[in-house]
Amino acid sequence: MNKILIVDDEQDLREMINLMMAKEGYETEMAQDGIDFLKKNDNFQPDIVTLDVMMPGLTTKDILEELKDKYNKPKIILLTVVRFSDEEKEKLFKMGNVVDYITKPFDFDELVTTIKDNSFD
């Protein structure tokens, strides 16, 4: 079973995605900010992470930098309200395990499909 860690400071959204993915048969865990994410990453060791790019505390860049030295390196799917250019995408994808991004607000199907595409069979 794939493990997914949902990182978002917005509780409702976090829980909604959590519920969605649990219903889809994923083993889920939630983190409310960057520090929480890094801690849980060590303990929970997720395969996939949905990471909100705008949270208080650590920035996405900080988080990705921290993740570089971690033993566990999950696939990261970014959740954002802005669109990325190809150039930005390239830079982002080079930085760590970023595999995709989803623009908010997203459709139920869009999110599920993107996560499933990046899951192990």
Partner 1 sequence: MNKGEPEIVKFLRDEERLGKLHSKLQSNCKELEILDKPLENTSDDMINVIKNDTGRKIEYSELDGLEEKYKTIFETSAVAITLTDENERIILWNKYTENLLGMNKNDLYMKPVELLYPPEEWRRIRSENVRQKGMQHHLETKMIRKNNELIDVDISLSVLKNHKGRVIGSVGVVRDITQRKMMELELQIAHEKLEQRVKERTAEILKSNELLKQEINERKKAEWNLKIKDSAIASSINAIVFVDPTGAVTYVNPSFLNMWGYDSEEEILGKPAVNFWHRKGRYTEVMNATFNKSGWVGELVAEKRDGALFDAQLSANVVKDEENNPICMMASFIDITARKKAEEKLRKSQMRIEQQNIQLKKLDKLKSNFLNITSHELRTPMCSMKGYVQMLLKKTLGDITEEQKRGLMVILRNVDRLDNLIRDILDISRLESGTMKFITEITDIHKMIGEVAETMRLSADLKHVQINEEIEGKLPKLIIDQERIKQVLINLVNNAIKFSSDGTVIVIKAKKEEENILFEVQDFGRGIPRDKQKKIFETFYQVDYNMDRTFGGAGLGLAISRGIVLAYGGSIWVESKLGKGSTFRFTLPVKSVKDVEDRFREVDVFMVETDSEEKENNLRMEEYVNN
Contacting positions for partner 1 (CB under 8 A): 10, 12-13, 16-17, 19-20, 23, 53-54, 59-61, 64, 78, 80-86, 88, 91-92, 95, 104-109, 111
- Nearest to residue 80, comparing CAs of 15, 12, 13, 11? 13
- Nearest to residue 7, comparing CAs of 55, 66, 72? 55
- Residue 96 backbone phi and psi in degrees, to 5: -165, -135
Instruction: State the Cα angle at 19 between 17 and 98, rounded to 5°.
Output: 35
Closest approach of Cβ 46 to partner 1, in Å? 20
Residue among 45 and 97 whose Cβ is closer to partner 1? 97
Q: Is the dihedral of CA 37, 115, 64, 87 positive or negative?
A: negative
Closest approach of Cβ 82 to partner 1, in Å? 6
Residue among 38 and 54 whose Cβ is closer to partner 1? 54
Closest approach of Cβ 43 to partner 1, in Å? 25
Residue among 16 and 35 whose Cβ is closer to partner 1? 16
Residue among 43 and 85 whose Cβ is closer to partner 1? 85
Instruction: State the Cα angle at 29 between 26 and 34, rounded to 5°.
Output: 135
